[in-house]
Chain A
């Protein structure tokens, strides 16, 4: 996996991004997508203490929450940038290690898999890695941020 990196924040080139929602999306071979939280998002959120996923089979519209995350001092949604049906969640991984997103946000820390229903239309609203990187670079600089990962 190759990535662009700025102040410790990683952005894999194989992913597309919804910068406003802090979500990365990857197209899978079966026509579905895998998504998760970006590196800056996990860093600003802090260590996860709990996550509750919406059920597999649930249909979501773009922007609706697919999971609710609690870190030490914050609760917030994980919103999907694409409409579709949840076909899998990474609940088992998070039961094993609640810090999965804080350790490996683009790998073992993925959050949901979705079968999109308006893929071609809504995919246009996502940013490629290089355009997302420019947006994030400005945001990270403005906020004087640094990304960190939890150690094993």
Chain B
């Protein structure tokens, strides 16, 4: 059986999500496995299936700036999507997909990884489902079972609006937003950032992707059209994805912090020390404190020492004892005066922020 390619081109933003939901829900064992390629006409925000809209997205900002929002039937977190990303969706009948999720990703991410390599980017699949180059994420992916189909989704990111991504997310503070923005710039890359003037054109990139997916799956790829049934499913999914009931589902999953890439997270916590509130906005990478900003209404002298303390903590493994020891050395070395604030408070607030909690409400 060959593999159908539906190159839908630029579509209404909602259809860039609807299309794979529809093809998947219309799929039966007799259907052809399908690759859909699409990009939206305008930017939008999209939350994961189990998230709660008002907890994840700055609804006021999106409304004020005309940014539409939807929810997808794939997991993961809130994302900003726009015309500079070529969305690819691999949709196969469950009888032809691997049984284990890890194997699903291994099989269906090989094509997109090889496509980036063919462009000149030394990309690799970082299990479970990241595509990375030299430790920076260049593609987020997700998988779901919809109807009888297994769906794997991702995008070729030609360019990215880091500022807007950080802006649409609901964050606990502006310091947190700054940290997310900085972290995205550092840990999320794009085709144009990697290749500059050597970046392929949109059409070349698409052609390479189709060829590499076909080669990785050992399939002859042929262009096709949506069937009548799939078009009917699209009409139905458009209604679903825009319904208030779908968008504002309650009882969702709220993850602690923002995931930037596999093993890179931005988190924040505040702690009431005797001398005042201390807040730690941190970036965690591979269980190490990759970056930290300390703020609050405490008093510390010399005033500039807080920035030096942050530098002292960066690179520490996320272990309370290690953080405490570094803070104690700093206090001693710089003869810190901080009424009601101790090295213990500093290590405690960093660990509070780092403490991984998945809150299922």
Contacts and interface: CB of A to CB of B under 8 A. Distances in A.
Interface size class of A (residues with CB under 8 A): 20 to 34
Interface in B238-281: 249, 251-253
Given A73-B128, A75-B50, A145 B143 contact: no
B73 A139 contact: no
B119 to A, nearest CB: 26
A112 B32 CA distance: 34
A71 B50 CA distance: 11
Contacts of B251: 52
A52 B358 CA distance: 15
Interface string B145-163: 1000000000000000000
Contacts of B74: 75
A44 B99 contact: yes
How would you classify the secondary structure of chain B's contact residues: helix, strand, loop or mixed? loop
Interface in A66-93: 68, 70-77
A46 B101 contact: yes
Interface string B38-76: 000000000011100000000000000000000001110
Interface in B126-181: 128-129, 142-145
Contacts of A49: 50, 75, 253, 358, 360
B249 to A, nearest CB: 8
B103 A73 contact: no
B145 A50 contact: no
Given A49-B253, A68-B49, A75-B144, A95 B360 contact: yes
8 contacts: A49-B358, A70-B253, A73-B75, A73-B129, A74-B143, A74-B144, A98-B360, A145-B99
Interface of A: 40, 44-46, 49-50, 52, 68, 70-77, 94-95, 98, 139, 143, 145
